[in-house]
Structure formats: C-alpha cells, structure tokens
Chain A
Amino acid sequence: MSCADYNESIADFVDGTLDPARHRALERHVEGCAACRALVADLKSIQAAAFTLDRLELPGHLWNAVQARIPEEGKPSGARLLAFPRTPAAMGWWAAAAALVLATTLGIYTVMRPENPHAGDTAAVASDPADAGDVVASVQAELQAAEEHYDKAIQGLEQIARSESGALDPQVAAVLQKNLSVIDQAIGESRTALQQQPASADAQDSLFDAMRSKVALLQQTVELINEMRKGNQAEAGRLIQGLNQ
C-alpha cells in the first residue's frame, strides 16, 4: 500500500476514531515511513494547538449594541403580529390603520350604545305598535350603517396587511384570521336570523354581540400596534396571548 492509501486512517487516527485493526496497520506503516510519521506528528500538533488557541474576550459593549437593536426587530417571530414600522411611509400606514379602526369603533359604538333607543332598547320601543314598523326600519338602516363602517375598516386593514405582508408573522396572522372567521360566521348567522325575524330581540342581541366582539378584536389590534411601536414587549406579548384565547 502507498502512503496515499493511509490518508483516511491518518485522519481518523488524529481524531481518535481509528478502529483497532486499521490502527495496527497504520502503526506498522508509520514505523517504516518517515514522511507519514512526520505527518501524523504534525497533524497532532496542529490539533492540539487549535484546541488551545487564544480566546478573545467578548467586548462588553456588544450586548448593549444588541439590546439597542432589538426594538427595531419587533417581537420574535412566532409572537409577532406586526413588526415595528421603520420608515416614515410605513409609520403613515400604521397611523392610518389606527385612525381607521378608531373611527369604525366610534361609528359602531354610536349606533349600538345603550342610550340609543334604536339599538340597545329595540324590544321596548318596538312594543309600541304605532312606531314598530318605523323603528325596525330605522334599526335596520343603522345596522346597515354600522356594517358599512365595519366593512370599510376591514377593507382598509386588508389593504394595509397586503402592503405590509412581510411584517406580519404568519402564525399570529393565522390566529387573527381564525378569530375573525369565527366572528364573521357568528355575524353571518345572526344576520340570517334577523332577516327571518326582523323584530327578534335575541337575533339583534346576537348580532350586536358578534359585532362588539369584532370591535374588541380590532381594538386589541390597535393596542398591539401602539405597544409595539413604543417597544413595550411585555404588554405586546400579553396582547398577543389575548389574541390566542
């Protein structure tokens, strides 16, 4: 066998993984081959020196530098709904989203607040036969207006989500989508029930509850945006946990 045939054995020998049979064969070869003997010795020396190479001390300022850059990163992937906006344009989008959701919330709240005789106390008002038809029509009109606010908000948010899709973590987005789907289904079922029984207080309450849930989810989203923009990781994490429930 030539020296080249022992190349792999020498590598394993230096690593300490050479099996006994090949070990004996290599020993016999090395006894009579000065070049391979020198090679084995040198590789062992290099390996030993490598293990004892000087270690540079970790500069203390690096942790501060990493910490300073963390807010730019937003939440770790998997717990992130929306990354921090970094550009003025992106900031504008998020501000628009927050304003849009806030306006929708106020709009729906105006229609559905308890003092509104056409919404919170519909059943009592409808008990007056003379006004019942007008009240039902009025409530339906206001519900329609509320739904338009709601649809407008969703369209706006969807547009923003599309433009900022890179910043939206897929896992959290999926949770949001799931929650939205559940609420949308409840809204759809309530709307169907209301079409069948326009004066039904239960159907109205059910629709209002579903829409309130939608508003609450949108409010949570706005809060999350704000906390992430402020770099408040703990509060953002709490809000994300809330979205998962």
Chain B
Amino acid sequence: MSPSKTTGDVRNADLELAGRIRSGDGTAFETLYQQHAPRLYNLAYRMAGTATDADDLLQDIFLLAYRKVSSFRGESSLGTWLYRLAMNHCLDVLRSRQSRQEQQTDSLDEDGAAPPPAAPALGAVSRIDLDRAIGRLPRACRAAFLLHDVEGFGHQEVGTILGISEGTSKSQVHKARLRIRAYLTQPRAVSD
C-alpha cells in the first residue's frame, strides 16, 4: 500500500500525531519513526548508494521532520509530507556532493536526451543488476522511479512529493525505465 493514503480518518490520525509531536510527546515521534523509517531508509539507501550515507540521511530526515512538524497542515498525508521532506533533503545532499561518478552518469544521461535506441530483449531482470542500474540514473529520474516503481506512489503523489507535475512524473519514470533497460542490455565489460 502506498504510504500516502489519505482518507478522512487517516488524515485526522496524522494531524493528531503531528499535534502530539509538536507538544513534545516523545512516544508520538517514535510512532512516526516506526511507521516510516523502514521505507525511508531504503529510499535513502537507493538515492545515496551506500548504507553509511543512508544512516546519515535518515537521521537528518527525522531531525528535520521533528523541527518542521509544525508546518504539517494536513493538506496531504503525513507520509507524503515526510517523503517530500526526505526527497528534498536527499536531492540537496546529492546535488551538493557533485561526485565524479554522477557527473559521468549525467553526461551520458542528461535530462531531455533522446530515448536510447532499441535494445535486445532483456529477459528476467536480476535485482542486483537493477539496483546497480538505479544507482546510475540521474537524480531526478532516480527519485521519480524509486517513488513510483519501488515505493508504489501514484504519479500524482510523486508530483506532490517532488514538486513536479503529474505529467513530468510520468515522463521521468518512463525515462528511468528506458535508461535502466539500456544499462541492463549493454555490454558490461566497459562499466562493471
């Protein structure tokens, strides 16, 4: 199930939980952590690429959430709000890092580039290879792909989380799949 379902009851529960956190209720904050940390940890891991970075990112994300919980107004679910905060932080960190590997990847896969040419049939996809391919995606594509295809958010929610339109989310996810396919079907000796 998507972590962002927003029925009236869920929204009321989210508002109540956020209110308790605001008032200094430590158990409420722990509840928020228990509900969302496992998925956010995996998201952070796949955005950053290493467990050490994921450890740091997750701590930062929850400290940010603690600091900013008063900005939660219930317009979206607490899960969507938290994912937005998490993705913004991950993207900020990745942007500032400017790793050499990412620059190389971006130079090959700049946004707006034409879809890769037709590739031979892929067959069964190895999850290890898929993880590796995700790590090679440009940040924006990676974020949209992880939220949609891995975490199960709809395009509208992905748009809300990333601050982009629903159409842009569709486009980014499709682009990500095409690039993953191209990566998985290319000869490996060069890059791996």
Chain A residues within CB distance 8 Å of chain B: 3, 7, 10-12, 14-15, 35, 38-39, 41-43, 45-59, 62-63, 65-66, 69-70, 73, 75-79, 171, 233-234, 236-237, 241
Q: Closest approach, in angstroms, between the C-beta of A21 and any C-beta of chain B?
A: 18
Contacting pair A73 B130 (CB below 8 A)? no
Q: How far is the CA of A53 from the CA of B130 in the complex (A)?
A: 8
Contacting pair B177 A43 (CB below 8 A)? yes
Residues of A within 8 A of B54 (CB): 56
* A77, closest chain B residue (CB): B70
Residues of B within 8 A of A7 (CB): 115, 174
B42 within 8 A of A: yes
Residues of A within 8 A of B23 (CB): 79, 237, 241
Surface stretch bound by A, among B4-12, B56-64, B76-84, B102-110: B56-64
Residues of B within 8 A of A62 (CB): 37, 41, 55, 58-59
Main secondary structure of the interface of A (DSSP, over half): helix
* B58, closest chain A residue (CB): A62
B93 within 8 A of A: no
Task: Given the known inter-chain contacts A15-B170, A45-B124, please indicate yes or no for A55 contacting B63, CB distance below 8 A.
Answer: no
Residues of A within 8 A of B126 (CB): 49
Residues of B within 8 A of A70 (CB): 26, 29, 63, 66
Of the candidates B41, B121, B178, which one forms a contact with A58 in the assembled complex, judged by CB atoms under 8 Å apart? B41
How many residues of chain B are within 8 Å of chain A by beta carbon?
56
Q: How far is the CA of A77 from the CA of B24 in the complex (A)?
A: 10
Chain B residues within CB distance 8 Å of chain A: 21-24, 26, 29-30, 33, 37-38, 41-42, 45-46, 51, 54-55, 58-59, 62-63, 66-71, 115, 118-127, 130-131, 134, 145, 149-150, 152, 155, 170-171, 173-174, 177-178, 180-181, 184-185
Contacting pair A51 B149 (CB below 8 A)? yes
Contacting pair B118 A45 (CB below 8 A)? no
23 A–B contacts from the bound complex (CB under 8 Å) = A11-B173, A12-B170, A15-B155, A38-B122, A42-B122, A42-B181, A42-B185, A43-B178, A43-B181, A45-B125, A49-B125, A50-B150, A53-B46, A56-B45, A58-B41, A65-B55, A73-B63, A76-B22, A77-B68, A78-B22, A79-B23, A79-B24, A237-B23
Contacting pair A53 B127 (CB below 8 A)? yes
Task: Given the known inter-chain contacts A35-B118, A76-B70, please indicate yes or no for A56 contacting B42, CB distance below 8 A.
Answer: yes
Contacting pair B33 A66 (CB below 8 A)? yes
* A79, closest chain B residue (CB): B22
Contacting pair B59 A52 (CB below 8 A)? no
Q: How far is the CA of A54 from the CA of B45 in the complex (A)?
A: 12
* B54, closest chain A residue (CB): A56
Q: How far is the CA of A38 from the CA of B115 in the complex (A)?
A: 15
* A61, closest chain B residue (CB): B55
Residues of B within 8 A of A12 (CB): 170
Residues of A within 8 A of B46 (CB): 53
Residues of A within 8 A of B41 (CB): 56, 58-59, 62
Residues of B within 8 A of A58 (CB): 37-38, 41
Task: Given the known inter-chain contacts A53-B130, A53-B150, A70-B63, please indicate yes or no for A237 contacting B24, CB distance below 8 A.
Answer: yes
* A59, closest chain B residue (CB): B55
Q: How far is the CA of A237 from the CA of B24 in the complex (A)?
A: 6
Q: How far is the CA of A171 from the CA of B71 in the complex (A)?
A: 11
Residues of A within 8 A of B58 (CB): 62, 66
Task: Given the known inter-chain contacts A62-B37, A79-B24, please indicate yes or no for A53 contacting B131, CB distance below 8 A.
Answer: yes
Q: How far is the CA of A52 from the CA of B149 in the complex (A)?
A: 10
Residues of B within 8 A of A241 (CB): 23
Q: How far is the CA of A36 from the CA of B21 in the complex (A)?
A: 51
Contacting pair A79 B63 (CB below 8 A)? no
